[in-house]
Amino acid sequence: MNFMRQKTQKKAGFSLIEVIVSMSIFLIAILVIIGALISLTDASRKARAIRVVTDNLSAALDSMSRNTRMGGYYHCGCGNPTTPGDTTFPDTPRDCAMTDALGGGGDACFAFEGQFGDPNDPNDQIVYRLFDNRIQRSVNSGTTFKNLTAPEIHIDTLRFYVHGTQLSQDQPMVTMVLRGVASTSARTATDFNIQTTISSRTPNFDLNP
């Protein structure tokens, strides 16, 4: 009787050290991928915050610049007690130039007669001001205000520097300086500094001889 012997072949597997090494490499790769995803998420949130500040501030500044450019009777300040010494608010032209001191001169409030306003009506002045870290606008000489900027935009500084408001051959000019932070969360805070200068298109001299 013939007996057939079956030969068993031993197949080599992974050793414990090889398994540990491969798992370590896999975990490291996973951690790198997760870190990259977190970075991409933060970048997306920051881009969204930048888009918010860009869109909202662009719209606000465009509105302010357009209305200021077509207006007249520029008045820097908001009257007593907001602006000490300002007794001619809101319909009398008033300068407030920049000084040599750091952050000196100017005011956080600015009023003027709109394009279609009545110079003889002291209650129809357009007024811009900084209140509760937001830019506000009034169309009734400061009686009521509405916010121009979004809650995500925290404005620390708003200064108006006005010169050339008196009758002369020079056109009045306004320089606006804004500083603040735009953020949707503490991790996506983005600082911004903006400065723009506007010249009135309304003639600033007496046409009557």
Confidence category of residue 34, pLDDT binned at 50, 70, 90: very high
Place of tokens 């809650």: 151
57: in domain: yes
Per-residue pLDDT of 66-106, as tens digits, reads 999 998 889 888 876 666 667 777 778 888 877 766 667 78
18: in domain: no
Confidence category of residue 207, pLDDT binned at 50, 70, 90: very low
205: in domain: no
158: in domain: yes
Instruction: Find the mean pLDDT for residues 21-42.
Output: 89
4: in domain: no
Q: What are the phi and psi torsion angles at 137 (to 5°)?
A: -130, 140
pLDDT at 208: 42
pLDDT at 14: 66
157: in domain: yes
180: in domain: yes
Whether pLDDT at 115 is above 60:
yes
Q: Which amino acid is at 112?
A: F
Name the residue range of residue 129's domain: 34-199
pLDDT at 5: 55
Instruction: Find the mean pLDDT for residues 109-122.
Output: 88
Tokens at 149, concatenated: 């900027």
Closest CA to 159 of 110, 114, 92, 99: 110
Say if residues 147 and 164 touch (Cβ distance below 8 Å): no
94: in domain: yes
Beta bridge partners of 191: 181
Give 77's Cβ-side CA count (13 Å radius): 21
pLDDT at 209: 44
Q: Structural domain tally of the chain? A: 1
CA–CA dist 124, 110 (Å, integer): 14
Closest CA to 77 of 88, 69, 63, 66: 88
CA–CA dist 5, 187 (Å, integer): 72
Give 16's Cβ-side CA count (13 Å radius): 0
Per-residue pLDDT of 16-28, as tens digits, reads 787 888 888 989 9
Where do the H-state alpha helices sit in the chain? Answer: 16-70
Per-residue pLDDT of 150-162, as tens digits, reads 888 899 999 999 9
